[in-house]
Amino acid sequence: LVMSISSLNFLKVWDIQNWDCLLHLSKINLMGLLASACFLYDYEKDETYIVTSNSNYGVGIENVKIYNLNGKEIKKIKNSNEDTLFVCTYFEEDQSRTYIIVSCKNYIKSYDYNDNKLYHKYYEKNLGFHLNVKIEKSNGLVKLYEVCSSDGYIRIWNFHHGNILFKINTALKLVSLCLWNENYLFSGVIGGKLLLIDLLNQKVINIMEGHKNWLNCIKKIKNNKKEEYLITQGYDDQIQIWLNDI
């Protein structure tokens, strides 16, 4: 399945084998914009769901919503009526728990999907939009990576305890990120540049000219030969594919 969304409050789910539209949800939010959406797999029920988030720009009447693939709203998480700019999910195998992670204006929150309760709030005093989050587990430690569009920091948190492990100052306005491996990550900048960051030494080691405007999405992909590439998308209406030689 592939999902496409519009800020005008509708989304579509497509079957990539024949590109049939399986679901078209419209008017998801009464006010504000459909800011982000993702799939959620419920391991207990063996069902796939859709999670949506809303950016109200201060209007504040919507919450995070969960739909089944028939388009029925099955659950709503009361996110204190805050702008939710990005949403993703994480399944913790050790606990058999699924978490929904939402990026709000000034911080990140994680919710336990099973009981709808707030799990942790990841907050350090700063004013800026947190636009992207990634979760990664290595050596038994679950880390939450997030970027901020105002202060230029990449923050790495202990997901289960809610404390900062370390942070990296890039001095640039960040809007996206992609984990390459345990040692490196890429981050996109409002001006379109692509940063390569050394996690071990906690510093930027390369700045590449990427897009002419916001580099707002970065993904790691593999081809049939198992070669690894980056694919980036920007607000300049371009998609770029990068051959990485790390």
- Amino acid type, 1: L
Average pLDDT of each block of 10 consecutive residues along the chain (246 residues)? 90 93 90 89 92 73 85 84 85 90 88 92 81 90 91 93 94 92 93 94 93 91 82 91 76
Q: How far is CA 235 from CA 5, 10, 55, 161, 211, in A?
A: 15, 20, 18, 35, 8
> What's residue 28's pLDDT?
87
Residue with tokens 């700019």: 85
> What's residue 61's pLDDT?
57
> What's residue 192's pLDDT?
93
> What's residue 246's pLDDT?
62
> What's residue 70's pLDDT?
95
Cα 42 to its chain centre, rounded Å, is 19
Q: What is the C-alpha end-to-end distance of the chain, expressed in Å?
A: 31
> What's residue 78's pLDDT?
77
> What's residue 223's pLDDT?
78
Characterize 59-74 residue by residue with b for buried, 16 or more Cβ atoms within 10 angstroms of its Cβ, and e for exposed. Answer: eeebbbbbbbeeeeee
> What's residue 126's pLDDT?
66
Q: What is the DSSP letter of 31?
A: S
> What's residue 98's pLDDT?
95
d(CA 104, CA 79): 9
Tokens of residue 2, six digits: 């592939």
d(CA 107, CA 143): 16
Residue with tokens 């058999």: 96
d(CA 131, CA 83): 11
Degrees to nearest 5, angle at CA 13 with 10 and 18: 140
Q: What is the DSSP letter of 236?
A: T
